[in-house]
Amino acid sequence: MSKKVSLQEAIKQKLAAKNQVNQTGSHSTGPVKKTKELQSQLTKKPNNQRKRMGV
């Protein structure tokens, strides 16, 4: 069992681990976000809300 760690200490440890990962990983300028795969516009379902509303 590990001893209780204060919130401040836990945050410091998390930051240190994150910085290590950033340094060992690829050096990129700015945050890299995972993007959704592009969906083909042909397979998209058309919006038929107006048809349902009777407009």
What separation in angstroms does the CA of 9 have from each of 13, 19, 22?
6, 15, 20
Q: How far is Cα 22 from Cα 32, in angstroms, rounded to an integer?
A: 11
Say what the pLDDT of residue 30 is. Answer: 63
Torsion sign, CA atoms 30, 23, 21, 19: negative
pLDDT in tens, 5-50: 788 999 999 999 888 877 765 555 566 677 777 777 777 777 888 8
pTM of the predicted model as reported, rounded to 2 decimal places:
0.35
Say what the pLDDT of residue 12 is. Answer: 92
Phi, psi of 11 (to 5 degrees): -65, -40
**Residue that wins the pLDDT comparison between 52 and 22:** 52
Angle, vertex CA 32, rays to CA 30 and CA 37, nearest 5:
150
Question: Tokens at residue 33, please?
Answer: 């976000």
